Amino acid sequence: MTTKTIKDAVHDHIRVDGFALDLLDTPEMQRLRHIRQLGTAYLVYPSANHTRFEHSLGVYHLAVQALDNLGVSGVERDEVRAAALLHDVGHTPFSHNVEGVVEDEVGKRHDEVEDIIDGEVARVLEERGISPDSVAALVRGEGRYGQLVSGELDVDRMDYLVRDAYHTGVPYGTIDSRRLVLELGYVGDELVLGEGNIQTAEALLLARALMHPTVYNHHVARISKAMLKRGTERLIEGGVDAGRVRRMDDHELVVALRQNDATAETGERLAERRLYKRAVWKPRDEVRDTALDANPRALEDEIADDAGVEPHEVIVDLSTPPRMAETEASVVVDGEKRRLEDVSPLVRTLMELHEEGWRFGVYAPEEVLEDVERASEKVV
């Protein structure tokens, strides 16, 4: 069986063999070389150009370590290996930045990959005796071993936190992923951390809590994401098929934006980093409920009309209230399975801080910022 060793910036050497090597060469996997892991965060952190491809390799590497530790073999092992490698093939361009827009149109989340792993990927899997449907179910987090790929203690976040910290240069995402993987086990059919690992789990939560305001929700990353999202919405409204957008890579989407009359300015601004500025940036308790419950596009029209500017010059950024799924993970304490948030005061504090970090944003070009700020204050 052919084996290759791939040099990785985070995990050093990753060994890939057999059918996994064949999966790497499929168009679906190679597309991930052209999708940035952190979307538009490179506009804040210039070195954040790592891709979903290298992240997928890292997830595969950690999944293999977990499978070894858990003693999983046979077809189940191969299915998990395949799911770990393929778990991101359903991502839209710029990762999560435009996922919601495309999902609203095509009705599929990034973890619903049945249609994408049809064809060449399915051929590779079936030649190995692996069911594509079983792999797709694992990607969605279903079943006993689906939790390894997509769950509160999945190897996905164990890779991306370390990888994102490395490529942004931010030190807060450092976690002991090796220890986490080795301490995974099952109580019944639930994936848990073994006895004596409260601090290990706390370190994971602390890393995530610090990375969110510093990287994932940095205001420039939020502004550029909102611009890209609105531009993609208008691209689809202008007749570009959402299914086609779903299968684009980052470069193809930027070109499409720049070539469409309705979105050309957005495409140029993103390409040249001429980003909108913050007219409003407020915590939840300072925003009226009517604004929180409103349709963002309707708010944009209202603010633009009051400010005397064009509707596309106002972007309302009403993101989903934050959730830390890891707090629902279980850890064994004194021989009993306990929820992490129930046994760790630190985790409860981190949950509160995470919620307090949520912000409501209104953005506009610098030349009309004062007018938009004045109009926004009336509304929000």
Q: Would you state the CATH architecture of domain 3-215?
A: Orthogonal Bundle (1.10)
* Cα–Cα dist 358/212, whole Å: 10
Q: What is the arithmetic mean of pLDDT over 1-13?
A: 93
Where in the chain does DSSP place strands (E)?
A: 3-8, 12-17, 184-187, 190-193, 277-282, 315-317, 330-333, 336-339, 360-364
DSSP labels for 250-300? HHHHHHHHHHSTTTHHHHHHHHHT---EEEEEE-GGGS-HHHHTS-HHHHH
What percent of the chain is predicted at pLDDT more than 70?
99
Indicate the SS3 state at residue 13: strand
Q: What is the arithmetic mean of pLDDT over 199-218?
A: 89
Local confidence band at 245 (pLDDT 50, 70, 90 cut-offs): very high
Q: What is the arithmetic mean of pLDDT over 94-106?
A: 87
Residue 173 has pLDDT above 80, yes or no: no
Local confidence band at 321 (pLDDT 50, 70, 90 cut-offs): low
Q: What is the arithmetic mean of pLDDT over 177-194?
A: 91
Mean pLDDT, the chain, rounded, equals: 92
The pLDDT, as a whole number, for residue 277 is: 98
Neighbours of 214 (CB within 10 A): 18
Residues 6 or more apart in contact with residue 360 via CB below 8 angstroms? 280, 281, 282, 283, 284, 287, 291, 292, 317, 318, 380
The pLDDT tens digits for 224-243 are: 999 999 999 999 999 999 99
Domain map of the chain by residue range? 3-215
Quote helix, strand, coil % in the chain, to nearest 5. 60, 10, 30
Q: What is the arithmetic mean of pLDDT over 152-164?
A: 93
And the tokens for 263?
């979105």
222 compared with 379, residue with greater pLDDT: 222
The pLDDT tens digits for 58-91 are: 999 999 999 999 999 999 999 999 999 999 999 9
In sign, the C-alpha dihedral spanning 283, 288, 293, 294 is negative
Local confidence band at 110 (pLDDT 50, 70, 90 cut-offs): confident
> Which residue type, as a one-letter code, is found at position 312?
H
Indicate the SS3 state at residue 78: helix
* Cα–Cα dist 60/87, whole Å: 9
Residue 205 has pLDDT above 90, yes or no: no
Out of 199-203, 226-230, 235-239, 366-370, which region has the weakest mean confidence (pLDDT)? Answer: 199-203
Residue 48 has pLDDT above 70, yes or no: yes
Local confidence band at 105 (pLDDT 50, 70, 90 cut-offs): confident
pTM to 2 decimal places: 0.93
Q: What is the arithmetic mean of pLDDT over 9-29?
A: 96
